[in-house]
Structures are given as structure tokens and as C-alpha cells.
A = this chain, B = another copy of it.
Amino acid sequence: MPDSTPALSRPDDAAPPSVCRWAVLMEYDGRGFVGWQRQKTTGLLSIQGLLEDAATRLTNGHDVRSITAGRTDAGVHASGQVAHLDFPADVTLSSATVRDGLNFYMKPHPVVVLMARPVLPQWNARFSAISRAYRYRILNRAARPALEDGQVWHVRAPLDVDGMRQAAAHLLGRHDFTSFRATACQARSPVRTLDRLDVKREGEYVVIEAAARSFLHHQVRNMAGTLKLVGEGRWEPAQVAHALAACDRRAAGPTAPPEGLCLTGVGYAENPFSR
């Protein structure tokens, strides 16, 4: 039996000794993808599938699997996604070669590895992550986007950013976020601690920055869709507190579209990309 066989029954959070684990920092445009996660249906393009297929080609045919910090939905972008890949230990490559090689094989798709770093087998892109940061951008003007079509949510009505900021304050901290999770969300607990939910105007944009140790499925988009109701004056800021307390998805606002959302960063106690 080869050394790697027992690893198949191991938990995801440690690499078997026969592999070399690589962390990758990624940027992508989520349009045209079914999302991060590889689908069983053939012909559907996923970020994960693209990355793993590139890794397989880079390692001359080895079946390389990846684990990510955030399984982004279809149409959602990333400027600071993190994943890890387990290469066979006998494949010795430099950080620059892993980055450039993966990028070469992912061409011409709008997905790139910004940095690649070897990590200890205990390090795990998903389970070692201690924070996730997302940015939701609204283009708030009459004209539809021309330069950023597909990368912002276009909202015509002028939004009241002060009201949105007041509403956002009600969501900060540790809560049962049932009202803001997708009904299909598979997380065991609906309780999360929201560390940051800033709303600011930047010229024609209204930018929402959210950070937490982890988020529920659709949580950022559901919060953005609800804050937009406040920005339009259709909801009072305090209604967001009532929606949260209701612990019922129907009590909160609609899910904002994916194109405004971008995973901007993942935090680690030991950040492989800072060295």
C-alpha cells in the first residue's frame, strides 16, 4: 500500500506526509462561473475545477484537490480568496513557478493566483482562517455601469448612507442570523459574530465592508439587500433590528445580486502570504 492511502480517511484539516501543501492567494471575476465549488455536471465552469485542473496539469497528471476559505457563489468576485492545494511531495517547484504555472494553465479565464506559498501540513485554508472580509459595492447613479458592468449592483435611487449606517449598527456583534441566512444554508448554527459592517459613500458608489470569523450562506448579500431598503427610505433603520430578532428569513430584505460582492481577504494567525 502506498503511504498516501491512509490519508483518504483523514479529516480535511491536515495534509498526509507524502504531500507538499501550497497556499494560494487568488483574484477572480465570478461572471461565467457556477461559483467556487466544482459541480458534478460536466460543462459547468467552477473556480475550483479550473484551479484543480491547472494543478493537475502542472504536476504532470496528479489528481490535485483543493480546500478554500470561502466557497463563493456564482457571479461573486474575489480579490483576496485563499485556498490550499496538496501536491505530491516529489514535485518540487518554486513559489514563482507554482504561481506562474497555475496562471498559465488557467488562461484565458479571469482567474489568477497572485501568490503561492508552501505551508506546513497542519495549515488549512478553511479551518485555519480566523476572519473573512467581503466588500459589497453599489453603483448609485441614474446611468447603468459601463466600465464596471457585472462588478457592481446598480441602484438608481439616491441612497441615504447615514440611515444605512444606523441600520448596520444593529447587526454588529454576536447574533442568531437566521433572518439573513439562505434557507438552503447548511451551517449547523445560525449564530455568528459580525465584527464589522461599515457603510460609506465613495463618489458614485456606496460601499459596504463586512468582516467576521465566518459568514452564513448569502449572509452578506442578504444584509446588503436589507440595508438597501433602508437607504431607499422604505425601511426605518430600527426595522433591521426587528428583522434580526424575528429569526425568520422572511422578516429581512431580499438577497442583493451576486455581482456587487467581492471576497477581499481572509485572515490567519499565521499568514503565509506576509512572508
Contact = CB atoms under 8 A, between A and B. Distances in A.
A212 to B, nearest CB: 23
Contacts of A99: 142-143
Contacts of A29: 146-147, 149
Contact of A103 (B103, B143, B151): B143
A113 B28 CA distance: 29
Interface string A142-159: 111111010100000000
Interface of A: 27-29, 77, 79, 96, 99-100, 103, 107, 110-114, 141-147, 149, 151
A5 to B, nearest CB: 35
Given A114-B141, A141-B114, A146 B28 contact: yes
Given A107-B144, A112-B144, 14 more contacts: A29-B146, A77-B147, A99-B143, A100-B142, A103-B143, A103-B144, A110-B146, A110-B147, A110-B149, A111-B146, A112-B143, A112-B146, A114-B141, A114-B143
Contacts of A114: 141-143
What's the number of copies of this chain in the assembled complex? 2
Contacts of A77: 147
A150 B190 CA distance: 41
A209 B113 CA distance: 29
Query: Which 5 A-B residue pairings sit nearest by Cβ, starting from the closest?
Result: A112-B143, A110-B146, A27-B146, A112-B146, A28-B146
Contacts of A149: 29, 110
Contacts of A111: 146
A147 B79 contact: yes
A142 to B, nearest CB: 6
A147 B112 CA distance: 9
Chain B CB within 10 Å, residue with most, of A77, A110, A147, A151: A147
B143 A28 contact: no
A147 B151 CA distance: 9
Contacts of A27: 143, 146-147
B96 A142 contact: yes
Contacts of A143: 27, 99, 103, 112-114
Contacts of A96: 142
